[in-house]
Amino acid sequence: MNLYITREERDKLKRAFLNMRKQHVISVSEIIKNLGYEPGELDAYSSFLVNEEIKNQIRVVSRAKRAHSIIYSNPDLNEDIIRFIIFYVNENTDIADVLFLTDEGQDEEYYELFSGVAIYPAIKKVHIMECRKLESSLFNWIHDIEG
């Protein structure tokens, strides 16, 4: 199972991918609203509760067999949030990879934090596939051509 991190909301995910029923979406905006808070007015206590709910959902879904992957959606994504999520996932779950799901050419400063980057499709309604790392030896032929 992979964890995809994006700043896009559920609406864009639904427009881009067909098999959303097999993906568990953790929407920070929805969690904040469900807990009865307003997004711009979180204090330390309410932020703690929101973070605990996010960690709980990641932990529970990563153990379940129903979802193929988890998509973490946070429009206020920043480097600290990304580092926290990656650290939590690596220490507390069996999630294989944490990938950045973004539009081509956006947020390139975050690419190095992830084990991979998935780009939103140019055409609408495609299946989200499980991304896997490829061994670098498969790409040696590229270096042979250049050399």
pTM of the complete model beyond 0.85: no
Selection from 103, 56, 104, 101 nearest residue 82 by Cα: 101
Q: What is the per-residue pLDDT across 37-84, written as a single tens digit (0 to 9) for each?
A: 988 888 999 999 999 999 999 999 998 888 788 999 999 999 999 999
Which residues are CB-contacts of 103 (< 8 A; sequence separation ≥ 6)? 119, 120
All domains in the chain, ordered by first residue: 2-146 (3.40.50)
